[in-house]
């Protein structure tokens, strides 16, 4: 017995026979036990993961952490236990943060496994019994009612008005109608009308099905496997920091080795040799880097939360800033997720409707003139038909105020169009008493209702154009007269609406006897009066249209990947400007994707912007192909079917309102408003985060290089150290916290979304920034030795005074250089010199700390410092101000040469 057969291609009797089951009696208890042993339990396999202890230990396996541990060892050699504790504390805190993030990231599969914990009704030995879902076996006969969650993949045997919400699996927002008829050709899961899938929800009707697949062999099980196999990618930031740290590690180790070798050759004692090596390492290591990275990302998280984007994993903040491709779902993200009637055809006239969504604010117009339902009898009857042949409710929330629909989105749109035409819903519903209903079924392709009003009975119908028009003998004109049907004219109107991506419904009515109290299918197959057409669409969000435009300006490619039909998807894409960069490029369907070889898929993924009717594994493949081309991919999704692609993407973005728990657990970021415009805002914030990190690195490295070179030069030339290891540690820790960290609060510079994304292969420090780092470091080293030599020899000052001047020279050099670093290319005055209040506050605190270190007897004793004179302060400030002016001159020259 196979469990991976294309059951939907077979008749229900063939499936039941192949599975050795009985649609009336089900399986025997003995057979159930035998199949349990053969197929196992109906549950998803959770991939065995690393122990939490191993995950925690792995957080220490990073070059940057190695550097910090070396720093801690170095400080412990100096018996400065407080500083050692601080550095180790930074390491442990960063490890804990990384551990928490990773454990959260791996909860998605567990969430999926929990998704099918429930009970279901099956037929066994001729009796209906309720059993746990995990005990369902292949061949079981399952009974489905409204509100039930489907326990396994089923081939429908019988159904009555059965509708199932498959949105979490297929992305389709409208419930799918199910029946038992076989399908003649292979098709994607969206179109398998005779199959019910595990975890989907029955919204209407009744059905019976035979279990064909359980656990890992179900469609949801295949998605579970895709989630487990999808790679957890290293973020661009993590990768760059790792590369940068490795280079820094080897440079520090190399310089420390040179220092110790030179010291050893000079005949210094082993303790002094080690002390000099440790001093260089302590000076060259940027102890504050991990803390500032975490602070900067955390601030980005806070700012994004204010912009309705919740970040679940810190590095995702910066990943957004590096994004080169955004693959977005259509419904609710790019669109309103509220069906809206935009075109009406009635009485041989074409009407337009304005307004968006379920809010009935708007008008019906004819040739730009506002009209109401009284304009023509045909229009009035058409709008009334949409109200009466309707199972849903349009509800106004008085507190918001907003409008929402209870029921089918399509039916909600019909209420809205009727109100725009001046009809009063409650008045019509009270006037026309509903006697009987034929609910919509996929086999019938229509819905019909029987109403009584003032001594006459009327049947109102809505449904597919083909079904309604074929049953009509006449149509209603503007005066209310019956005219001979003009099928060709109606078809041309349908094609016109469909070409705009509109979903078209046809409407009709039929007068029947006052004594008629029920309707049957035969009442709806002939002699109908055609009332007209309503064309509707889920319209794009205005803010999303602008967001797509800004993304294109920023060099970010936007691709629509949807479960909707290709015509609708292409129409929405054109409204939004998604194909603006290549308007002649046609969209592609999932069925067409299946026929492509790897090379063709690679080309299509790059060129195409619209992908319709795609399956979960195709979404995953598209993301993988784009990543192989070097793209940083952001992927949006809300359903279980989106989870594998969300996990594989560099940044997975889940919908907070309509998203499933599986999607949210898998994602790196959650949109609280399900709006594409929020992705644009978050991308802008991500770019700002990376800019601020780059500013910090460009600011802090000259200090570390300066301190390292000071030690190296002293060792090579046999000079007295201008600054001690303990003083170096003070400078590094205090300035990183009170000066460098304040760069994290810098707001986005103008034009941030007008340049292309940063090249993922580009190093953190570009040649321009590296040049600046080197010459700033050289300047500071030269000034330190100039001042130290001048003060110790010319003025015959005490060593502690000279060293105090040098400490302040480094600190105030960093302080003035901090204002340079607020923008890598422009003057801080362009940003607003006092716009970063955190930076101003940090500068004032740092000045206070340096004065305390210089003049406090306690600090003089602890750090071997001494008070200095006003003249010496003048020297410190003068050299630091000169550095500031030189950097601004360099930026000005570069702007002139490179036209920034």
What pLDDT, on the 0 to 100 scale, is given for residue 107?
Answer: 53
Distance CA 829, CA 343 (A): 54
How many other CB atoms are there within 10 angstroms of residue 118's CB atom?
A: 13
Mean pLDDT of 854-881: 94
What pLDDT is attached to residue 2?
44
More confident residue, 123 or 563: 123
CB distance 408 to 174 below 8 Å: yes
Task: Note every long-range contact of 635-638, with CB atoms under 8 Å and residues 24 or more positions apart, other chains counting.
Answer: 635/326, 635/327, 636/326, 636/327, 636/328, 636/329, 636/333, 636/671, 636/676, 636/679, 637/329, 637/663, 637/667, 638/167, 638/168, 638/171, 638/329, 638/332, 638/333, 638/663, 638/674
Using 50, 70 and 90 to split pLDDT, how confident is the model at 197? very high
**What does the pLDDT average to over 181-203?**
84
Checking if the pLDDT of 886 tops 80, the result is yes
For range 557-585, the mean pLDDT:
85
Check pLDDT > 60 for residue 115.
no
Distance CA 218, CA 590 (A): 20
Q: Which residue has the higher pLDDT, 79 or 502?
A: 502
Output the pLDDT for position 116: 42
DSSP classification of residue 705: H
Which of 195-204, 245-254, 738-747 is the least confident region? 245-254
| CA distance linking residue 457 with residue 493, whole number of Å | 30
For residue range 670-705, list pLDDT tens digits in order.
Answer: 888 888 888 888 888 888 988 898 899 899 889 888
Q: Is the pLDDT of residue 112 over 80?
A: no
**Residue range 430-441: mean pLDDT, rounded:** 88
pLDDT of residue 368 exceeding 50: yes
The neighbour count for residue 606, using CB atoms within 10 Å, is 14
Residue 249 dihedral angles phi and psi, to the nearest 5°: -60, -50
| Window from 170-174, 313-317, 623-627 with minimum mean pLDDT | 170-174
Q: Report the C-alpha gap between 712 and 900 in whole angstroms.
A: 37
Would you state the pLDDT for residue 102?
55
Q: Across the chain, how many H-helices and E-strands are there?
A: 32, 28
Question: Residue 532: enclosing H or E segment and its boundaries?
Answer: strand 528-537
Highest mean pLDDT among 150-154, 176-180, 261-265: 150-154
- Tell me the mean pLDDT in the region 554-566: 87
| pLDDT digit string, tens, across residues 212-234 | 999 888 888 887 777 665 555 45
The rounded mean pLDDT for the chain is 85
| pLDDT digits 0-9 by tens, 466-489 | 999 999 999 999 999 999 998 899
Tell which wins on pLDDT, 248 or 794.
Answer: 248
Catalytic one of 153, 329, 408, 668: 329
- Per residue in 89-98, pLDDT (tens digit) is 767 876 776 5
* DSSP sequence for 768-803: HHHHHHHHHHHHHHHHHHHHHHIIIIIS---HHHHH
* % pLDDT > 90, the chain: 40
- Percent of the chain exceeding pLDDT 70 equals 89
Q: State residue 422's pLDDT score.
A: 94
| pLDDT(357) > 80 | yes
pLDDT for the residue 235? 57
Task: Tell me the C-alpha distance between 71 and 630, whole Å.
Answer: 36
Strand partners, 636: 653
Which of 180, 175, 169 is CA-nearest to residue 210? 180
Q: Secondary structure of the chain: what % helix, strand, coil (to 5)?
A: 50, 20, 30
- Chain segment 378-409, per-residue pLDDT in tens: 999 999 999 999 988 888 877 667 788 877 88
Is residue 298 pLDDT above 80, yes or no? no
Three-state SS for 299-310 is HHHHHHHHCCEE
Helical H runs in 78-218?
81-105, 108-114, 167-170
**Whether residue 564 lies in the annotated active site:** no
Q: Is the pTM of this model over 0.95?
A: no
Q: Give dist(CA 503, CA 571) in Å, integer.
A: 11
CA atoms within 13 A on the CB side of 210: 25
pLDDT in tens, 34-72: 999 998 888 877 656 567 788 788 777 766 677 667 767
User: Residue 747: which H helix or E strand, with range?
Assistant: none
């Amino acid at each position: 017995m196979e469990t991976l057969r294309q059951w939907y291609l077979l008749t229900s009797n063939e499936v039941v026979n192949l599975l050795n089951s009985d649609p009336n009696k089900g399986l025997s208890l003995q057979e159930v036990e035998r199949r349990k042993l053969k197929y196992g339990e109906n549950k998803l396999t959770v991939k065995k993961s690393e122990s939490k202890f191993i995950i925690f230990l792995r957080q220490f396996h990073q070059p940057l952490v190695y550097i910090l541990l070396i720093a801690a060892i170095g400080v412990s050699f100096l018996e400065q236990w407080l500083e050692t504790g601080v550095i180790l504390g930074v390491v442990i805190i960063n490890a804990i943060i990384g551990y928490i993030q990773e454990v959260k990231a791996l909860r998605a599969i567990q969430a999926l496994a929990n998704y099918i914990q429930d009970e279901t009704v099956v037929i066994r030995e001729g009796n209906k019994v309720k059993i746990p879902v995990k005990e369902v076996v292949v061949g079981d006969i399952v009974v489905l009612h409204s509100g039930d969650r489907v326990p396994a993949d089923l081939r429908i045997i019988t159904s009555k008005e059965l509708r199932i919400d498959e949105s979490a699996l297929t992305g389709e927002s409208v419930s799918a109608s199910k029946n038992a008829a076989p399908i003649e050709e292979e098709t994607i899961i969206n179109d398998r009308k005779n199959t019910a899938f595990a975890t989907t929800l029955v919204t209407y009707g009744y059905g019976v099905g035979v279990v064909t697949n359980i656990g890992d062999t179900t469609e949801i099980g295949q998605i579970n496997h895709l989630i487990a196999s999808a790679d957890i990618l290293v973020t661009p930031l993590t990768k760059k920091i790792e590369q940068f740290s490795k280079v820094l590690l080897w440079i520090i180790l190399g310089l420390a080795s040179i220092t110790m070798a030179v010291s050893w050759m000079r005949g210094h004692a082993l303790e002094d040799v080690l002390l000099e090596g440790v001093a260089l390492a302590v000076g060259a290591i940027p102890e504050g880097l991990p803390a500032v990275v975490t602070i900067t990302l955390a601030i980005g998280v806070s700012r994004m939360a204010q912009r309705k984007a919740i970040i679940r994993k810190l590095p995702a903040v910066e990943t957004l800033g590096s994004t080169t491709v955004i693959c977005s779902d259509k419904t609710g993200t790019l669109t309103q997720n509220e069906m809206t009637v935009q075109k009406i055809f009635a009485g041989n006239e074409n009407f337009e409707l304005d307004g968006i969504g379920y809010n009935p604010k708007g008008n019906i117009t004819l040739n730009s003139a506002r009209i109401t339902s009284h304009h023509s009898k045909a229009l009035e009857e058409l709008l009334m038909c949409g109200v009466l042949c309707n199972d849903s409710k349009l509800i106004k929330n008085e507190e918001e105020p907003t409008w929402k629909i209870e029921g089918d989105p399509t039916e909600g749109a019909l209420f809205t169009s009727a109100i725009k035409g001046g009809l009063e819903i409650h008045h019509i519903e009270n006037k026309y008493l509903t006697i009987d209903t034929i609910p919509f079924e996929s086999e019938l392709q229509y819905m019909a209702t029987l109403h009584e009003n003032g001594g006459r009975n009327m049947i109102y119908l809505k449904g597919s154009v083909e079904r309604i028009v074929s049953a009509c003998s006449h149509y209603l004109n503007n005066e209310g007269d019956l005219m001979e049907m003009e099928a060709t004219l109606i078809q041309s109107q349908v094609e016109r609406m469909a070409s705009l991506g509109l979903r078209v419904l046809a409407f009709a009515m039929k007068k029947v006897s006052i004594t008629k109290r029920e309707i049957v299918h035969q009442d709806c197959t002939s002699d109908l009066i055609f009332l007209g057409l309503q064309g509707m669409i889920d319209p794009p969000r205005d803010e999303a249209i602008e967001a797509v435009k800004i993304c294109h300006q920023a060099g970010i490619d936007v691709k629509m990947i949807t479960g909707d039909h290709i015509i609708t998807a292409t129409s929405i894409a054109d409204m939004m400007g998604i194909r603006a960069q290549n308007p002649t490029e046609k969209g592609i369907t999932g069925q067409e994707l299946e026929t492509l070889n790897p090379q063709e898929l690679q080309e299509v993924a790059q060129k195409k912007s619209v992908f319709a009717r795609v399956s979960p594994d195709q979404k995953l493949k598209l993301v993988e192909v784009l990543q192989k081309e070097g793209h940083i991919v952001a992927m949006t999704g809300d359903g279980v079917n989106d989870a594998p692609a969300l996990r594989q993407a560099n940044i997975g973005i889940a919908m907070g309102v309509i998203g499933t728990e599986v999607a949210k657990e898998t994602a790196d970021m959650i949109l609280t408003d399900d709006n594409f415009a929020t992705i644009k805002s978050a991308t802008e914030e991500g770019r700002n985060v990376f800019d601020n990190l780059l500013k910090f690195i460009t600011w802090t490295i000259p200090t570390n290089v300066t301190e390292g070179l000071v030690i190296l030069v002293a060792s090579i030339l046999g000079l007295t150290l201008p600054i001690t290891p303990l003083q170096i540690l003070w400078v590094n820790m205090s300035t990183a916290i009170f000066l460098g960290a304040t760069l994290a609060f810098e707001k986005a510079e103008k034009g941030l979304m007008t340049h292309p994304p940063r090249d993922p292969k580009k190093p953190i420090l570009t040649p321009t920034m590296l040049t600046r780092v080197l010459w700033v470091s050289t300047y500071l080293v030269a000034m330190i030795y100039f001042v130290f030599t001048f003060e110790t020899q010319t003025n015959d000052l005490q060593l502690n005074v000279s060293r105090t001047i040098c400490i302040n020279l480094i600190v105030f050099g960093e302080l003035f250089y901090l204002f340079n670093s607020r923008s890598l290319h422009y003057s801080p005055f362009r940003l607003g010199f006092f716009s970063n209040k955190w930076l101003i506050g940090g500068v004032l605190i740092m000045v206070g700390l340096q004065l305390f270190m210089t003049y406090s007897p306690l600090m003089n004793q602890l750090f071997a410092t001494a008070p200095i004179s006003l003249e010496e302060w003048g020297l410190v400030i003068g050299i630091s101000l000169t550095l500031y002016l030189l950097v601004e001159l360099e930026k000005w020259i570069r702007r002139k040469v490179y036209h920034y």
